[in-house]
């Protein structure tokens, strides 16, 4: 007998275990200039932990739901906090939630830990460690504060 659920049309799908994932490859990224690294006009390819950092950087710098070329699971929603009248602690909690949701969409990322959030003037700086199937990647991103 089939299991009955309230939403029979929604079947959870498990993320593939790390052993089944192909090696992650991305175009190398210049995080300071925020652009791809090219060698003689050809993109430089990085793998594993470095590719996780590139994927995370680009996902965090892409506004979720804005670009039709990306799936609805890709991107960051912190831009939605700009201009909102939330209290500082509510904004911090939302920033942390949005970043975790953004990064955990990647099957190579297993956790986001050690999140620090600082707002100075109109700049928001968020630091964190990404736990991936390739080990830990530390990252810090800066954007306009909400």
Domain contains 37:
yes
Domain contains 98:
yes
Domain contains 7:
no
Domain contains 53:
yes
pLDDT band at residue 112 under the 50/70/90 scheme: very high
Residue ranges making up the domain that contains 97: 21-144
d(CA 5, CA 20): 29
**31: its two tokens:** 């995080």
Q: Which CATH number goes with the domain that contains 133?
A: 3.10.450.40
Q: φ, ψ for residue 3 (rounded to 5)?
A: -70, 130
Total domains in the fold of the chain: 1
Residue 19 vs residue 37, higher pLDDT: 37
Report pLDDT digits (tens) over 93-105: 888 888 999 899 9
Domain contains 120:
yes
pTM score: 0.78
User: 111 vs 2, 15, 16, 104, 107, CA distance in Å?
Assistant: 33, 14, 15, 7, 10
Selection from 108, 111, 107 nearest residue 129 by Cα: 111
Task: Report the SS3 class of residue 5.
Answer: coil
pLDDT band at residue 67 under the 50/70/90 scheme: confident
């Amino acid at each position: 007998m089939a299991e009955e659920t309230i939403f029979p049309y929604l079947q959870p799908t498990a993320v593939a275990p790390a052993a089944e994932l192909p090696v992650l490859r991305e175009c190398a990224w210049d995080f300071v200039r925020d652009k791809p690294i090219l060698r003689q006009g050809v993109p430089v390819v990085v793998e594993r932990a470095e590719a996780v950092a590139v994927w995370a950087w680009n996902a965090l710098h892409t506004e979720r739901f804005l670009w039709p070329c990306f799936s609805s699971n890709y991107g960051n929603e912190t831009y939605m906090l700009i201009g909102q009248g939330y209290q500082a602690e509510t904004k911090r909690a939302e920033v942390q939630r949005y970043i975790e949701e953004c990064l955990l969409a990647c099957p190579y990322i297993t956790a986001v830990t050690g999140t620090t959030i600082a707002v100075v003037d109109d700049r928001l700086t968020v630091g964190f460690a990404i736990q991936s199937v390739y080990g830990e990647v530390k990252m810090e991103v800066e954007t306009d504060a909400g």
